[in-house]
Chain A
Amino acid sequence: MTNALGSNEIRSMLDRGDLVVMPLLDLNRQIGRASLDVRLGQDFVLFRKGQIPVMDVKDAFNDTAWVDYYDRIRREYGQAFILHPGQFVLSSTLEFLRLPRNVMAYVIGRSSWGRAGLVIATATFVDPGFQGVITLELVNEGEVPISLYPGTRIAQLVFHKLEGEVQAYKGKYAFDTRATASRAYEDEEIIKLTRKD
């Protein structure tokens, strides 16, 4: 893996169509010296805290579907989502991305939001050849509620080139077009590990 790609290389990837970012609201404002800012999407996934005794992957195979643990809400243009202290929600990038098969990316929070107490992502690795929106795991670690507006530049991608191409990512989160709740229950080892007999 090489060092992080600079703005010229990111621009070249965009111009060639190797890197796709759609919609791209304002490239000049989004491109940094060695990063590309991504914006907050419109959909949010919240936990139904009042009715979750425990989040257990084996429930996905029993009578409780994991969708029962979540609510979805959508904020329209100009509407804020209020993230309270300690609250954890999922959202996604506003942009649909396609990475080249020889480029991976890290998602990093923008410091402006970090200073407000917002933690953007805990799963920060984006696979080479990934295609879809990136789900963001948002936590307000601050002490006061934060208003989040869809379209805000909230995170940045730092790209790294691989030596050679790999197969495009075709995992369970490929081609997502909105924030996707955990599908940990689809992991093969979970079936083995939760089986009693």
Chain B
Amino acid sequence: MKCVNNDEINLRWHIFYTLKKLNNALEKPSIPSRSRKILKTIYDNLKDIEMNAIGSIDNIANGLSLIDKIILGINYGAPEWPNKLLDLYGPPIKCLVIPFITEHLATSDIQKYLPWWKQPCECYLLPFYAEEQDSPLNLQFFSTHLDKAWTMYNQELSDRFALIFAPGISIMTSNYDMFDWKQAKDIDWPRELKDWIEEIARSSRKSEVSPKAWDWKWDEICHATALLLENIPPSQIKDDPLEIISILIAGSIVASFEIHKGASFEGMASLERLIAFACDGSLFLSKYRSS
């Protein structure tokens, strides 16, 4: 009988328990298909492992620790909103935001730890930190993840979504200098918002990010803000679906305005639900029109 050292025994236990966790997770009907595919890939890579053929035990142990976090994150559940935004505006590669992992990675990166790693398709995994909110109002988080995913895909720095969401992020974070509100005050805002936007414009400096720095659809954004102020979810303008980005920017502006006015938490929760409904309605309408 071949004697094995303690490290290898520990590794065998680690693999055994990891396979057990994978089996349990794969039996859960609540795991969505995208996450299930990742679990299945991990399972297929671990189930027939040849202990004699594996490389550095430390390296593999590190790989298994990373896999533990991925399984934990998938088991816990993927947040709805960042994943929805990545599906809509992310790169043409499957992306999955999950908790517990601490850095952005591609599933192919696991090969650094497990040299025999094979996968049918690539997937980017992005971390959902404990302090983040799964909300259609979390524009800063969306922009960070979208830019990171595009940076991974193009292998060059992307900050396009930081710009696209700049009006919303500026107003949500009260960082008014990151967008040119002096110019933006002349946009055709609903009457109820005009004074407040002018107040913001007075207290901010001129920014390089003008309302023309990106092709924002200001008619859509103003239409959506007007409807949200009336507690109506803005899914469309006339017969056309509103762009999700316009709804989200309008949502962040109205939410900030309501916070500024001292709205109740219940009122804010209702507003958040309206924004979510508006996005779903717009997506449904888009699919209906294109099918």
- Point out residues on A near B: beta carbons under 8 Å: 20, 22-26, 42, 77-78, 94-96, 98, 131, 133, 150-151, 175, 177-178
Contacts and interface: CB of A to CB of B under 8 A. Distances in A.
Interface stretch (B46-54, B126-134, B234-242): B234-242
A82 to B, nearest CB: 15
Contact of A98 (B232, B236, B277, B280): B232
Nearest to B241: A23
B285 A23 contact: yes
A25 B277 contact: no
B20 interface: no
Interface string B259-276: 000000000001001101
B232 A23 contact: no
B287 A23 contact: no
A175 B270 contact: yes
A22 to B, nearest CB: 5
Nearest to A96: B233
Nearest to B287: A77
B249 to A, nearest CB: 18
A98 B277 CA distance: 14
Contacts of B232: 20, 22, 96, 98, 131
B231 A23 contact: no
Given A23-B282, A131-B231, A177 B288 contact: no
Contacts of B227: 22
Q: How large is the interface on B (under 10, 10 to 19, 20 to 34, 35 or more residues)?
A: 20 to 34
B285 A25 contact: yes
Interface of B: 227, 230-236, 241, 270, 273-274, 276-278, 280-285, 287-288
B236 A177 contact: no
A94 B274 contact: no
Given A96-B277, A175-B231, 7 more contacts: A22-B278, A23-B236, A23-B284, A23-B285, A77-B288, A96-B232, A177-B273
Contacts of B282: 23
Secondary structure of the B side of the interface?
A: helix
A20 B270 CA distance: 18
A163 to B, nearest CB: 25
Nearest to B274: A177
Contacts of B277: 96, 133, 177-178
Contacts of A98: 230, 232
A174 to B, nearest CB: 9
Contacts of A20: 232
30 contacts: A22-B227, A22-B232, A22-B233, A22-B235, A22-B278, A23-B235, A23-B241, A23-B281, A23-B284, A23-B285, A24-B236, A25-B284, A26-B288, A42-B284, A77-B288, A94-B284, A96-B232, A96-B233, A96-B277, A96-B281, A98-B230, A98-B232, A131-B231, A133-B277, A175-B231, A175-B270, A177-B233, A177-B273, A177-B276, A178-B277
Given A23-B241, A96-B277, A177-B273, A77 B284 contact: yes
Nearest to A176: B273
Contacts of A26: 288
A23 B282 CA distance: 7
A86 B285 CA distance: 32
B266 to A, nearest CB: 10
Contacts of B234: 22
B281 A22 contact: yes
A50 to B, nearest CB: 15
A96 B285 CA distance: 13
Contacts of A96: 232-233, 235, 274, 277, 281
Contacts of A23: 235-236, 241, 281-282, 284-285
B270 A151 contact: no
Nearest to A150: B284
B288 to A, nearest CB: 5
A178 B287 CA distance: 20
A20 B276 CA distance: 18
B251 to A, nearest CB: 13
Given A20-B232, A23-B235, A175-B231, A42 B280 contact: yes
A26 B235 CA distance: 14
Contacts of A177: 233, 273-274, 276-277
Contacts of A175: 231, 270, 273-274
Contacts of A151: 284, 288
